[in-house]
Amino acid sequence: MMRRNFTLPALAALALAGFPAHAGDPAAGKEKSTVCAACHGPDGNSPSPEFPRLGGQYEDYLYQALLDYKTGRRKNPIMAAQVENLSPADLGDLAAYFASQTGLYQKR
Protein backbone atom coordinates (compact mmCIF):
# COMPACT_ATOMS: atom_id res chain seq x y z
CA MET A 1 0.00 0.00 0.00
CA MET A 2 1.39 3.40 -1.00
CA ARG A 3 0.96 6.29 1.45
CA ARG A 4 0.77 9.85 0.33
CA ASN A 5 2.10 12.50 2.63
CA PHE A 6 -0.08 15.59 2.29
CA THR A 7 0.31 16.74 5.85
CA LEU A 8 3.38 18.98 5.73
CA PRO A 9 2.46 21.03 2.62
CA ALA A 10 -1.14 21.33 3.78
CA LEU A 11 -0.10 22.54 7.23
CA ALA A 12 2.35 25.03 5.73
CA ALA A 13 -0.37 26.47 3.49
CA LEU A 14 -2.77 26.77 6.43
CA ALA A 15 -0.13 28.44 8.58
CA LEU A 16 0.45 31.13 5.97
CA ALA A 17 -3.18 31.73 5.03
CA GLY A 18 -4.42 35.17 5.98
CA PHE A 19 -1.11 36.56 7.20
CA PRO A 20 0.93 39.27 5.55
CA ALA A 21 3.27 38.13 2.82
CA HIS A 22 5.93 40.48 4.17
CA ALA A 23 6.61 42.13 7.47
CA GLY A 24 5.16 45.60 7.84
CA ASP A 25 7.23 48.75 8.23
CA PRO A 26 6.71 50.34 11.66
CA ALA A 27 7.98 53.76 10.49
CA ALA A 28 5.48 53.80 7.62
CA GLY A 29 2.80 52.56 10.00
CA LYS A 30 3.47 55.45 12.36
CA GLU A 31 2.85 57.93 9.53
CA LYS A 32 -0.38 56.13 8.58
CA SER A 33 -1.63 55.89 12.17
CA THR A 34 -2.53 59.54 12.74
CA VAL A 35 -6.23 58.91 12.11
CA CYS A 36 -6.12 55.90 14.50
CA ALA A 37 -4.91 58.12 17.36
CA ALA A 38 -8.31 59.78 17.76
CA CYS A 39 -9.72 56.61 19.32
CA HIS A 40 -6.75 54.36 20.08
CA GLY A 41 -4.21 56.96 21.24
CA PRO A 42 -1.00 57.95 19.42
CA ASP A 43 0.87 54.84 20.56
CA GLY A 44 -2.12 52.50 20.53
CA ASN A 45 -2.81 52.80 24.26
CA SER A 46 -6.24 54.35 24.34
CA PRO A 47 -7.00 56.38 27.45
CA SER A 48 -10.65 55.33 27.10
CA PRO A 49 -11.94 51.87 28.01
CA GLU A 50 -14.34 52.17 25.05
CA PHE A 51 -11.53 51.54 22.54
CA PRO A 52 -9.15 48.57 22.46
CA ARG A 53 -5.49 48.97 23.29
CA LEU A 54 -3.43 48.15 20.23
CA GLY A 55 0.04 48.91 21.56
CA GLY A 56 2.14 45.81 22.15
CA GLN A 57 -0.32 43.37 20.58
CA TYR A 58 1.11 40.70 18.28
CA GLU A 59 1.66 41.93 14.74
CA ASP A 60 -0.05 38.95 13.10
CA TYR A 61 -3.09 39.37 15.37
CA LEU A 62 -3.38 43.08 14.53
CA TYR A 63 -3.00 42.41 10.81
CA GLN A 64 -5.67 39.72 10.87
CA ALA A 65 -8.05 41.92 12.88
CA LEU A 66 -7.64 44.79 10.39
CA LEU A 67 -8.11 42.41 7.48
CA ASP A 68 -11.24 41.00 9.11
CA TYR A 69 -12.71 44.51 9.41
CA LYS A 70 -11.88 45.13 5.76
CA THR A 71 -13.51 41.89 4.57
CA GLY A 72 -16.50 42.18 6.89
CA ARG A 73 -15.66 39.16 9.06
CA ARG A 74 -15.55 41.56 11.99
CA LYS A 75 -18.53 43.85 12.19
CA ASN A 76 -17.91 47.46 13.16
CA PRO A 77 -19.06 50.24 10.82
CA ILE A 78 -16.47 52.72 12.08
CA MET A 79 -13.54 50.34 11.64
CA ALA A 80 -14.88 49.09 8.30
CA ALA A 81 -14.87 52.66 7.02
CA GLN A 82 -11.37 53.30 8.37
CA VAL A 83 -9.78 50.31 6.59
CA GLU A 84 -11.92 50.39 3.45
CA ASN A 85 -9.29 52.08 1.26
CA LEU A 86 -6.19 50.57 2.86
CA SER A 87 -4.02 48.08 0.99
CA PRO A 88 -2.64 44.87 2.54
CA ALA A 89 0.71 46.67 2.81
CA ASP A 90 -0.96 49.54 4.70
CA LEU A 91 -2.56 47.04 7.09
CA GLY A 92 0.83 45.38 7.60
CA ASP A 93 2.52 48.70 8.30
CA LEU A 94 -0.12 49.66 10.87
CA ALA A 95 0.11 46.25 12.52
CA ALA A 96 3.92 46.51 12.67
CA TYR A 97 3.77 50.00 14.20
CA PHE A 98 1.28 49.19 16.93
CA ALA A 99 3.02 45.87 17.69
CA SER A 100 6.30 47.77 18.18
CA GLN A 101 4.75 50.00 20.86
CA THR A 102 4.72 49.30 24.57
CA GLY A 103 1.42 47.88 25.65
CA LEU A 104 -0.43 47.51 28.90
CA TYR A 105 1.65 44.41 29.66
CA GLN A 106 5.32 44.11 28.82
CA LYS A 107 6.43 41.28 26.50
CA ARG A 108 9.10 39.11 28.02
The predicted pLDDT at position 62 comes to 97
pTM (2 d.p.): 0.77
Question: Which has the closest alpha carbon to 93: 40, 20, 4, 14?
Answer: 20
Torsion angle of alpha carbons 77, 80, 84, 89, nearest 10°? 160
The predicted pLDDT at position 99 comes to 96
Helices 59-71 and 88-100: crossing angle in degrees, nearest 10, is 140
The predicted pLDDT at position 21 comes to 55
Which portions of the chain are predicted below pLDDT 70?
Answer: 1-22, 105-108
The predicted pLDDT at position 7 comes to 55
The predicted pLDDT at position 11 comes to 46
